[in-house]
Structure 1
Amino acid sequence: MAVSLKQMQYALAVARNGHFGRAAEACAISQPALSQQILALEDLCGTPLFDRLRSGIRLTPFGREFVAMAQEVVKRAEALDAFVLGHSGRPDRPIRFGLIPTVAPYLLPDIFPALTSGLPGLDFTISESRTEALIAGLIDGSLDVALIGTAPPDSGPTLVSRPLFEDPFVLATSSSDGTKEPVSLASLAPERILLLDEGHCFRDQTIAACRLGNDPARTFAATSLSTIVEFVANGQGVTLLPRIALRKEANDPRIAIHDLLSPGAGRLLSLVWREATPFGSTFEAMAEVIRATRPNG
């Protein structure tokens, strides 16, 4: 039995996400199904590809070599697939669309219906992951297009980036906090600023905006903005929020939202894809639809 392309894609997803559950979500299959495929692949190879750790997974030495070779095979297969489909400029399969976690829950309710109605005949497979994993997905061909909130890296394959719109930050405090606005970022007590856990670009943007240094000591780091907002509502700190999140995260009367003193802080949301794709015109059209669906915040 030969190693299948699908097994290689699953192995790359696990390596990219560092977690079987997140890899299964990105591949739009159940975790047991993905785990079964990885076990079958490891059985075929005669050795494990991954060390299973309490904190996640780690590539074995054999796994690192396998992933490096599989990336090339999958990349060539994706290129062949794109070549075959590219005569029409539109794929005849779902577009694999990734978004960062600090965007997906706030924009998808608006942009997904707009994309499906504004671009009839196109289907989408949606996944949510951190910026690093999305960029890796674009590079290895497991994603077609991604919506991110930071500049794509300069190294590696050329990526096309199209700006969508600015997303300013605001300060969230407890409604009993008594904060006066506009708020100067320099006036915030660093020890009171609550952050997302490492790997989120929004965490890095908050650290930079509040000048917290390269390695701020924290006993608390949340996996989602919703978790942070709950702590803020209970008076256990303050946080920056992207304006697109306010409809969902600022409905609690225990929360007060404050504008920042100029120049404030924010991020530019962008749509990114590989330059070497036959579907560039489709992704340009996606960007136009998303711009037109920009929420008021």
Structure 2
Amino acid sequence: MNLSGLSLRDLEYVVAVAELRHFGRAAERCAVSQPSLSAQIRKLEEALGLSLFERTSRKVLLTPRGEAVVAQARTVLEEARRLLALADGSEGALTGRLRLAAIHTLGPYLFPHILPPLRKAWPELTLILSEGRTDSLLEDLRDGRLDAVLLALPVETDGLVAEPLFFEPFLLAHPAGHRLGSAPHLSLADLDPSELLLLEEGHCLRDQALAACGLSARGGGVHATGLETLRHMVAAGAGCTLMPLLAAMGQDGAGQDRRTVGVGGLVEYRPFDTPGNGVRPPGRTVGLVRRASDPRARGLRDLADLLRRDPPPGTEAVLFQRDE
């Protein structure tokens, strides 16, 4: 097969099927009919002399050689976009489609805050939002399935660039009428480890809560699959948990005041005492992570600056100076 028989459009089809694992949804994304997309991929497979996909009646899988071809196809498409950006003078700008994801415990509460300024700054940008766990998001980012992710820092940044945005404190979520609700002060030392409710393994918030409380990975005997389930376990009187501020604010108007309530008055939230001397209360630093090789690096830096200039209420912007 020579280069004249290879089109960028064919590569877009292949990458879409690889990402969606479905020919119909891939055709919708590419704005073509499914028969046309399938025929072009078959034609490309015949020209290359290999099968890119393992097709069954229930799912589509990449073959081992197909994985290598798709990885290279992503690189080719990224470089083609860079070429077009050079031609029209928009190199580095945020244009076209931006695949932005966030961890489960952040996305639903942060997206409503950042979408208005983001849409105002880049009205022509097509946003594709998603959620996931830290490990899977970083894998998708490295493989080119995502353009940027919002998550808790630090993370392993081999081949990636992480920019801190803001510090989000944790609140204590406890059942209404709990003994800690009337305590004059609140610190992590006041928590009973046997009452601590956690997310299941794989959630970074679980690890952050354990680290903040000085507990081992085996700490806490009751686990929840998601943050909203965790909140309702507190409402049911099963125990207490550390709740990110944005998640607390997003529930029934709860905020950062000392006696705010949620879930129909069954859950109370209160902040931990600030230690002072520049020491922050328990919490997490939220950052934006992107590939170091992304041709839209300038635009993604502008995005990070925008989010840092206008952090969500109750959070604190993180001072950051770039080396690049």
Counterpart AA for 2:144: G
Matches within 5 A, 1:119-268: 119-155=122-158, 157=159, 159-179=160-180, 180-216=183-219, 218-223=221-226, 225-249=227-251, 250=254, 251-252=262-263, 253-261=265-273, 262=275, 264-268=281-285
1:288 to partner: Cα distance: 2.3
**Taking every aligned residue pair, what percent have the same amino acid on both sides?**
30
In the TM superposition, 1:285-296 aligns within 5 A as: 285-296=302-313
Query: CA offsets, 1:98-125, max 9 Å, x none?
Result: 1111111111112101100123332311
Give the structure with the higher percent helix: 1
What amino acid is aligned across from residue 247 of structure 1 in structure 2?
M
| Change beyond 3 A, Cα 1:190–1:66 | farther
Cα distance, 1:240 vs. partner?
0.2
One-letter amino acid of the counterpart of residue 289, structure 1: L
Partner SS for 2:238: coil
**How many angstroms apart in 2 are the aligned matches of 1:160 and 1:46?**
31
- How far apart are 1:286 and its partner, in Å? 1.3
2:166 touches 2:286 (CA, 8 Å); kept in 1? yes
1:76 corresponds to: 76
> Which digits, 9 at most, give the CA deviation of each residue in 1:175-213, with x for residues without a partner?
111212532323322232111122211111112112221
Q: What is the CA-CA distance between 1:235 and the residue it aligns to? A: 0.9
* Kept in 1: contact 2:52–2:65 (CA 8 A): no
Distance of 1:205 and 1:49 partners within structure 2: 41
| Structure exhibiting the larger radius of gyration computed from Cα positions | 2
1:206 and 1:119 map into 2 onto residues whose CA distance is: 36
Alpha-carbon RMSD: 3.4
The residue that corresponds to 2:297 in the other structure is: 280
Total equivalences in the alignment:
268
Superposition deviation, residue 10 in structure 1: 4.2
Q: Please give the alpha-carbon distance, in whole angstroms, between the structure 1 residues aligned to 2:190 and 2:173.
A: 14
Give the CA deviation at 1:270: 0.7
Q: Using a 3 Å threshold, how does the CA distance of structure 1 residues 276 and 232 change in structure 2: closer, same or farther?
A: same
SS of corresponding position for 1:220: strand
Give me the whole-angstrom Cα distance separating, in 1, the residues matched to 2:224 and 2:312: 28
Paired with 1:235 and 1:119, the residues of 2 have a C-alpha distance of: 45
Provide structure 1 residue ranges, at least 5 long, that are not aligned to the other structure: 15-19
User: TM-score, normalised to structure 2's length?
Assistant: 0.70
Distance 1:274 1:257, change over 3 A: same
Matches of 2:122 and 2:69, distance apart in 1: 36
Structure 2 contact 161–292 (Cα < 8 Å) conserved: yes
**What amino acid is aligned across from residue 79 of structure 2 in structure 1?**
A
SS at match of 2:210: helix
CA distance in 2, matches of 1:216, 1:79: 47
Distance 1:28 1:5 in 2: 10
Deviation at 1:272, TM superposition (A): 1.3
1:140 positional shift: 1.1
1:13 Cα deviation from its structure 2 partner: 6.2
1:17 is matched with none
Q: Are the aligned partners of 1:174 and 1:234 in contact in 2 as well (CA < 8 Å)?
A: yes
Q: Deviations over 1:208-264 (max 9, x none)?
A: 1122213346353222x1111111012111100111222113433211112224353
